[in-house]
Structure 1
Amino acid sequence: MHTGILPSALRTLHGERPGVHIALYNLPPAEQFEGLRQRSLDIALVHEPPGADDPDLLAAPLLEDPLLLALPAGHPLADQEKVTPGDLDGRPWIAIENTQDPAWRDTFIATCTAAGFTPDIRLEAAEPLTALGLVASGLGFALVQKSMAHATTEEVAVRELPWHETRVQLWAAWHRVDLRPLVAEFRTTILRAGEAA
């Protein structure tokens, strides 16, 4: 939702076909893919696509969202124009859980280490908005998607990290065989919204 892709596509669909019923579900990728196969879902938005050799499903990339540093606005680093890996080494961090990756914590630490710093993870947040709230409380730093930057408050400063190359990807996935023209139309609308994002 926070990327703007789904709200834009839903707004377009509602404007063109106001009588269409839309149901949204927050499901893990495996359940979304199974829902597509069983035809209980029409389209899935996931961070990783189904396999290229999947006999039933197709996918297309929608967005690559860079990660930004979120830090308390009162922290001395908030006034620096450029933040280096050395500036972040050993600082208190809030890690954002990734339920799609069982080894998410190790992945986070490895990504930070590869970028040149070691985070001191003090807290874990179930989702980015919680992490931003903890940052605003002065409890540590977090890496959040650029599309989340609009959700910050004046207590949170956001800085780009050009040297940190990790990006969060968003994909649309669907069944190879369209049974209803409306599904193909909505898929096209979502793909266009991704191009505009």
Structure 2
Amino acid sequence: MTTNALKRICVFCGSNPGNDPAYLEAAAALGRSIAAHDYELVYGGAAVGLMRAVADAALQTGGHVIGVMPKALLDKEIAHKDLSELHEVSSMHERKALMEDLSDGFIAMPGGVGTLEEIFEIWTWAQLGHHAKPLAFLNVAGFYDPLCAFLDHQSSEGFVRKGHRDMAIFSDDADDILRAFASYDAPDLPKWVEREET
């Protein structure tokens, strides 16, 4: 199934800015790129860290920005006050489900455990055939190089099909990712490596 009607791009990223200024710069560039392509931005709704940088840049470029935040995190993550829309939800599970439902593609920027958990759940759903939406890792300053190598190792060891491994796009260029999203064709593969179709 080719995803060629993109409207909204979801970005998962750190609520901290990270130690390298390149992370904040890349977040701002991604926000501008999403808005410049006339896509809407879906993200976690916070006004801190890389989350704020991507949202602010999209808003300043005239973009529509949708935040999704659990009630328990409204104060801890400091909800962004200037978003086009802010959806308050009851739990992290509901947050991820709504972000998936609202979005047509997913990009993980540098971030912590939560960022990885979010993008891996989206990837798992794609692998199981629950959706056919593209996903990518924006590999700023080589941040995801070790993860990319480990994923290749998982595949070579027979735990992940190569076609499923290749679902995840790795690039240091936001525009390259968005171009790849526009022509993405989800693989039609069974999850289990040992089972072959007859």
- Does the pair score TM above 0.5? no
TM class, shorter-length: under 0.3
More helix per residue = 2
More strand per residue = 1
The structure showing larger relative contact order (alpha-carbon pairs under 8 Å, at least 6 residues apart) is: 1
